[in-house]
Amino acid sequence: MQRVVIENVFPEIEEGAHPVKRVEGEWVEVEAFVFADGHDEVTAVLLHRYSEEEAWQEVMMEPLGNDKWKGRFRVVRTGTYYYTVKGWVNRYCTWCGDVKKKLHAGQDISMDLQIGSEMVRSMAENAQGEDVSRIQGILDALSTRTDTQSIISLLLEEKIKSFMTKWVEERDITTYRRELQVQVERKKALFSSWYEIFPRSCGKGTKHGSLKDCETLLPEIAEMGFDVVYLPPIHPIGKTNRKGRNNSPDSGPEDIGSPWAIGSEEGGHTAIHPELGTLDDLRSFVKTAEALGMEVALDLAFQCSPDHPYLKDHPQWFKWRPDGTVQYAENPPKKYEDVIPIHFETVERKALWQELKSVILHWVALGIHIFRVDNPHTKPFGFWEWVISEVRRVHPSVLFLAEAFTRPKVMYRLAQIGFSQSYTYFTWRNTKHEITEYLDELTRTPAREFFRPNFWPNTPDILPEYLQYGGRPAFISRLVLAATLSSNYGIYGPAFELCVSDAVQGTEEYLNSEKYEIKEWDRNKPGTIREIIARVNRIRRENPALHETNNLRFHHGENDFLLFYEKATSDRSNILFIAVNLDPYHSQAGRVYIPLDELEIERDQPFLVHDLLSDEKYVWQGEHSYVELDPAVIPASIFLVKRFLRRENDFDYFV
């Protein structure tokens, strides 16, 4: 009879409908309530296996009190792992506990010893393998002992309790009602630094640049410490209803249009814009990036210009209005006459979906294993769940970033059905309260099990007000926040480096946006923050505490303009305290709280911190320290904690 109840297994997403997420080498910590009627002791075991393995591996779970148990296992390969929980009434451990109580009370236990010995004999019938001979050895030892104390000592040995726990009748075991999944991806899904660049702006002056021109800039991007180079769409651009500068509906012959208006007589989603180069040029670009330690990410925008070959070859893949004209993209009152959305619910959707899958596989074959997906929330969830699964079935290394600035439920659903990373609301979280509240949601709720944030201070579509008015200090503070709060972050490159803040009045749109024209960037212009970007990325690489997001902890500070938080590895071998001045105009100062107990530092013991941004070193003592940040100098500090001991008049510190 199964007397054990198993409830509230965590993590479990949507009753097991979706997997939790990890990368290679991470741990999966599982908790559950496991209990039974009466006073008998219960044993709980965590089961896990890789999808290609049939046998389960078992991990004994630890009791946390009040019927709650915890166990964990490590995932070491990309793909899918399964896990579940089982439990049973442990009669032998119950017997051991009762005997100890009776001994303590001075009661007679002669009958209990007979019961215990019989339990061992019964268990011997269930044992298999080497345990058969081991339990037989125990039985032989019992048969030779005559005094009560030696029999008690033998029956209460931990190794016997271990055997008795291991070999239990299958009919007595309760197994959780479902097997849960872990989707394991490569490490770049968890830790990456993105740099977005338009190849067409990489030429000389205002001449249309090419992939070859952009390739010459890759060493500079690598020197700044980025490991993902993200290219907006590189496909042919339609001419019909082409947008002019600043998104004007009127364009002239000199206007080059938006890269997101995909398709012309030169080809569609599997072609490269002729002025950008050839497929061989892309192969060379990818190869050079890889040699510099970077990967290339490509924009995946499933939409078409009016000139896309799909319109002629597959008109049934689009919506047509009663007057016979095709339905353009709209987000009232905005109209996008140069873009036509694909009708995913067409009766021809099987052929459509297969075609779009082939587009992804086309670029994967050319060395692209990372895709930034444009507006995935405007396409069916079912399509993304299917196509991501199909691609990963043959190419498990492929990663997908969801550019989904939409409602929280929709963003979370996209993550649940397979997207590796997601854009977030970080772009608009500016105050101490806004930032802490949002990051607590991302790192301290069940969302942490499936939603991997990728923080972008700016994008070609978004120039937030904070950057419009805060000047150079605003760009630096947002850089540090993005790069240290989240283990994945990115910037819209040259515009961020050069602190470009000119916007269309009353909007978050860049004035003279690169989306509609070729930009001539002077990357050595005074005021560039390239060196600071490189320093921040170097700090990220060298400090494992910044390689994950969910280890974030905010600490109290008395100044609401000073954000103070901690990132630390689980073994506490790498501990960082980050302070950021959220006021781009004025110096801000105040005391911040230091958790000395967790650092294993005595209250009267000084310790050293090294500001990795300024290269200054400070001696702190006590649970409060003073921080002052002048945005005119640098609006942030990244303190590496170095504990050290006093030795006469000097210090002997160690990392």
How is residue 548 written in tokens?
């994950």
Q: In the annotation, is 615 catalytic?
A: no
Q: What is the DSSP string of 367-426?
A: T--EEEEESGGGS-HHHHHHHHHHHHHH-TT-EEEEE--S-HHHHHHHHHTT-SEE--GG
pLDDT-derived band at 644, boundaries 50, 70, 90: low
**pTM, to two decimals:** 0.93
Q: In the annotation, is 403 catalytic?
A: yes
Residue 583 is classified by DSSP as -
Structural domains in the chain, sorted by start: 1-90+171-185 (2.60.40.10), 91-167 (1.20.58), 552-653 (2.60.40.1180)
How is residue 123 written in tokens?
């268990």
Q: Write the pLDDT tens digit of every residue in 461-498.
A: 999 999 999 999 999 999 999 999 999 999 999 999 99
Considering only 169-173, 391-395, 416-420, 507-511, which range has the smallest mean pLDDT? 169-173
**Over 70: is that where the pLDDT of 508 sits?**
yes
Q: Write the pLDDT tens digit of every residue in 562-583.
A: 999 999 999 999 999 999 999 9
CA distance 453 to 443: 10
**Over 70: is that where the pLDDT of 645 sits?**
no
- 323 or 106, which is more confident: 323
Report, as an integer, the average pLDDT of 420-437: 98
Of the candidates 281, 338, 374, 583, the residue annotated as catalytic is 374
Report, as an integer, the average pLDDT of 288-298: 98
Rg (CA), the chain: 31
**Over 50: is that where the pLDDT of 655 sits?**
no
Residue 44 is classified by DSSP as E
Averaged pLDDT score across all residues of the chain = 93
Of the candidates 403, 449, 583, 611, the residue annotated as catalytic is 403
Asked whether 60 and 34 are in contact (CB, 8 A), the reply is no
CA distance 144 to 133: 17
Q: Write the pLDDT tens digit of every residue in 523-567.
A: 989 999 999 999 999 999 999 999 999 999 999 999 999 999 999
